[in-house]
Structure 1
Amino acid sequence: MKLLTAAQTREADAATIREEGISSAELMERAAFAFVTWLQVRLSPAADTQVLVLCGPGNNGGDGLAAARLLHQQGYLVQVGLLPADRHSADWEVNRARLPAELPVAEWQPEHFPAISPNTVVVDALFGTGLSRPLEGTAAALVQHLNAAQARVVSIDVPSGLFADAPQPVGSAVVKARYTVGFELPKLALLLPQNAEFVGRWHVVPIGLSPRYLADVPASMYLADAALLAGRLPARATFAHKGTFGHALLLAGSRGKVGAAVLAAQACLRGGVGLLTVSVPAVGYAVLQSTVPEAMCLPDDCKTHLTNLPELRPYAAVGMGPGIDQADDTRAVLEELLCTAKAPLVLDADALNLLGANRSLLDLLPPSTILTPHPKEFERLTEPAQHDYHRLELLRGFARHYRCYVVLKGAYSCLATPDGQLYFNTTGNPSMATGGSGDVLTGLLTALRADKRLSALDAVLIGLYAHGRAADIAVADTGQAGLVAGDLPRYIGQALQELTTPDSL
């Protein structure tokens, strides 16, 4: 699924109107109906629910007016509050005229905004994606009044005051919604951590925008969902054998951090690798042999950390980083790996920290290497970001410059590709905020990178999606607070199976 800019979304509206021969007011009616259909599922019975619809003077306000009429027709106790304005959009005027006479409508004057009960459901339709400057005056005062009420707020398209695809000025007035309901495609602003307090939980409802336009419009950002990944993971052939799916090497662990090697190894095996060898310091040998018997183990000459790089010729992919610590000997192993590896690499954790502390090593990165930093690790590789949009610029630039794939981990983990594309993952949940989750991802990506049937892009996208999907499946058994990283490998196979191409004609 493509992520479009606010301008492209308006072009999609125009293309739909043109192709279907409908009016903009008819498309607005379609959007309002989709919004109300979503809202009704979550509302209490109509007779018990008070709904306040706050409408601005533009098309977002027109959406709100249409939604108010539809909710009123369904028997909800609806009131409409209008933001004072000298001018209104044409579709706003159409929907204002359509309101039934008995529906209470009042212009909210800044001298005395009515009180808003915390039990009221407030539909925020003040401003949409066309906003180009921070709210001020009466509009800003109304947003502050609404936020102070702590009511149950549902924003249409974007929370009022929030820029759809630009950084938010510090201190500007923005509605703090419990839910945000967009149309057809989500906006970039909904995916960024800095906007979480405003967006709440977001949903997208389809309104039938032009398939032709959506297919043809250029995009550099995508949502990585099941639809995008359909058909990318082929089913296993009847006569496939362990060599078919590759022999992977993991360089992991140090004294006190052998568990990271175990987690990565378990995930690599559950990710479908044909053969797995794990190189660990000598202190980890007995641990690996007893906890991951399916893997072969190469103990390092050093007891506490990695000091030697194994012969690389047997391996189809190499993962390095989980729990390795940052000793000088281990840095030398990393440098040798970067200089000699012919197989694809996956680097995480302390491998990234070593790169950050020795940035000259970045120039040695082989093309198509996969790096999986969390924001702090990424900052060590580049520079502190001024805001989330700047961080995405740094991410895109880094991946292009070093011709690598970079996964910036977090909610909606973002993959940057060597050609400058960004993919936001759609699976996963807060249960993954626990030590070891990244080690599991490293092992899974190493397994998929060893599978020669998959391109580098497909391997990363499938791995990201399956990693989060495994957590989504797991929480049904563990609950969010009860999930630990060691639970994730057990659900990876099921997550991958959901993506596997079915055996059909």
Structure 2
Amino acid sequence: MKIFSAEQLKAADKETMKKQNISSVELMERAGKLIFEEIHARMEKNKRPVKVFCGIGNNGGDGLVIARHLIQHLYDVKVYIVNYSDNRSSDFLKNYDRIKDVTKEWPVLLRSDDDLPELAEEDVVIDALFGVGLNRELDEWVKNLVLHINKSQSFVISVDVPSGMFCDEPTRDKNAVIAADFTFTFQSPKMAFFLPETGRMAGQFEVLDIGLDKEFLQNTETETHLIRKNEARLFYKPRENFTHKGTYGHALLIGGSYGKMGSISLTATAAMKSGAGMATVFVPKCGYEIIQTLLPEAMVITDKAEDFISEIAFDLKPAVIGFGVGVGKKDETLQAFGALLERTEKPMVIDADGLNLLAANKELLKKLPKNSILTPHPKELERLMGGWDDDFEKLEKAREFVKEYDVVLLIKGSRTITVTKDNYYINSTGNAGMATAGSGDVLTGVITGLVSQGYDPLTAAVFGVYLHGSSGDLAAKEMSEPSLLAGDIAKYLGAAFLDLEKMP
């Protein structure tokens, strides 16, 4: 699913009005009515009081459309106009006149802190103050209104975006953003919905198709894409008859140290459950019996050292190498890793202490095989490329890192983002229960297993993140988020593959 910028959506509006021969106020009516219908479907049997806060631009016009339809359906509606300027959009003014035709209780003008209305727990607040066109900080009294709404116990619904949020650049004052419980957004989710600093402010969101010109949307290229089941299904390569284990590759997983053998066992298990034809696990001697017991399907090679990896030697020709899980940061391990990079040409999957070794010895980054996949969590990412002031700067620095070292980079998080030279791929699956030890180790195994089967590194990364999150979602449905373990994610990979075959 394409994620359009505010400018692209503005251009889509213009093209739609031209091709469909409709006015901007008619398009506004269409959008506002869709949100009304969604609210009405949920509230028809329990008509709670509704308080609509409208700005004086087009987002406020949307709010007035919603309020008018609610009034016509006998809801208890109070409309407030946040009068932060004397400049009003023409579409706002047209809908301001229309609402006067359906109620004798005209909208209340708010001009200062003294005008802030009381909000009750049973109220539903509709936030239509500012839309995607916001490009400045809020006036102090408007900021106080935002804080007033956020402190209330009311249920808050935002129109298109939570007011105060910038969609395609850093939000300047993160304390002056509506904290929505639910956001109805038009045609495309906004990039800011998926970033740690601002995503929580959108709450749950639903994308409403307001009928923008399909040809324009199809032909407009975007740098950001949301990966859902429909997209993931296109990546999936079902197995064919007359194939054998060699068809699906031999994955070599290198990792583990004394006290950390569980991590590499999770990685190896996930690699096999994601479809690798064979897996060999390279571990210190102390891990031999552990891996043979936990994963009898895998083969095991041991280092000459008892408790850590000191020299990586093997005579097989793996389709892919996954390195770093539980490996530690000893000098001997560093030397072994450097030697491995010198003689490896195929893309690798590198995680955990493998990333920490790279971060502490940045000269090794230049030795990475082309298109290797790096899977850092935020702290590991910071060690690799330095800090950032905001999430948008983080994405730009990640892109520069990818260009410099010719790798595929995952930024792990609630909505993991895969970064390439030209694009961002945002994952849609996963849940808070996956914030548990070993979850990332499983992801490394999934991606390694997919590369082993012949998926190209980018597809393996994007598809692997989707499968990993889907497995976590299916597992959480059975055992709850708090009780979810990394091993459960690996166990449900089969269910995640089966889920791809189900119709939406």
Taking the TM superposition and a 5 Å limit, the aligned residue runs for 1:325-336 are 325-336=328-339
Deviation string 1:165-218 (CA, Å, 9 cap, x unpaired) is: 111224652222122221110111111111144222222222122111111112
CA contact (8 A) 1:51 1:76 kept: yes
In 2: Cα distance, 1:473 partner to 1:457 partner: 24
Structure 1 residue 389 and structure 2 residue 392: aligned? yes
TM-score, with length taken from structure 2: 0.95
Q: 1:61 aligns to what? A: 60
Length, aligned pairs only: 499
Residues 306-357 of structure 1: CA deviation (Å, up to 9, x unaligned): 1222336520011011111111111112112211113321000000000011
CA distance in 2, matches of 1:206, 1:373: 35
Over 3 Å counting, the alpha-carbon distance change for 1:387 and 1:407 in structure 2 is: same
Distance 1:477 1:171, change over 3 A: closer
Within the candidate set 427, 446, 449, 1:447 is matched to: 449
* Cα pair 2:186 2:208 within 8 Å, conserved: yes
Match of 2:189 among 172, 186, 194: 186
Give 1:365-380 correspondences, 5 Å limit: 365-380=368-383
User: Following the alignment from structure 1 to structure 2, what is the Cα–Cα distance between the partners of residues 6 and 269?
Assistant: 43
| Aligned equivalent of 2:487 | 486
Could you tell me how far apart the structure 1 residues matched to 2:44 and 2:293 are?
Answer: 54
Task: Kindly indicate whether the alpha-carbon contact (under 8 Å) linking 2:137 and 2:173 is maintained by their aligned counterparts in 1.
Answer: no
| 1:425 aligned partner | 427
Q: Which amino acid aligns with 2:23?
A: S
> Do the aligned partners of residues 501 and 233 (structure 1) sit closer, same or farther apart at CA in structure 2, a change above 3 Å counting?
farther
- Return the alpha-carbon distance in structure 2 between the equivalents of residues 482 and 65 of structure 1: 45
Q: Secondary structure at the match of 2:51?
A: strand
Partner residue, 2:235: 232
- Paired with 1:102 and 1:295, the residues of 2 have a C-alpha distance of 76
Distance 1:312 1:117, change over 3 A: farther
Show the counterpart of 2:50: 51
Q: Which residue of 2 aligns with 1:458?
A: 459
Correspondence for 1:76: 75
Stretch deviating more after TM superposition (280-289 or 86-95): 86-95
Greater Cα offset, 173-182 or 322-331: 173-182
- Cα deviation, 1:42-68, whole Å, max 9, x if unaligned, reads 436244x10101000000001100011
- State the match for 1:20 in structure 2: 20
TM-superposed CA distance for 1:75, in Å, is 2.6
Secondary structure at 2:281's aligned position in 1? Answer: strand
Report whether the alignment pairs 1:98 with 2:81: no
State the match for 1:405 in structure 2: 408
Q: Distance in 2 between matches of 1:15 and 1:221?
A: 21
Question: Retained in 2: the 8 A contact 1:224–1:423?
Answer: yes
SS in 2 for 1:194: coil
2:264 to 240, 258, 261: 261
Q: CA offsets, 1:453-505, max 9 Å, x none?
A: x2222111110100000011111111010101010111112212334699xxx
Q: Could you state the TM-score of these two structures normalised by the residue count of structure 1?
A: 0.95
> For each residue in 1:226-285, what CA deviation from the matched residue of structure 2 results, as whole angstroms up to 9, or x when unmatched?
222332212211111111110100001110000001110110111011011001111111
Residue 359, structure 1, aligned to residue 358, structure 2: no
* Contact in 2 for aligned 1:414/1:423 (Cα 8 Å): yes
Code of the aligned partner of 2:448: T
Corresponding letter in the other structure for 2:52: V
Q: Which AA in structure 2 matches 1:472?
A: D
In structure 2, stretches of 5+ residues that fail to align are none
8 A contact 2:162–2:183 mirrored in 1: yes
Q: Is the 1:233–1:500 contact (alpha carbons within 8 Å) kept by the matching residues of 2?
A: no
SS at 2:50 equivalent:
strand
Distance in 1 (alpha carbons) for counterparts of 2:251 and 2:404: 27
Can you give the 5+ residue segments of structure 1 that lack an aligned partner in the other structure? Answer: none
Q: Measure, in 1, the Cα distance between the counterparts of 2:41 and 2:286.
A: 56
Does the residue aligned with 1:122 lie in a helix, a strand or coil?
A: strand
| Identity %, equivalent residues | 39
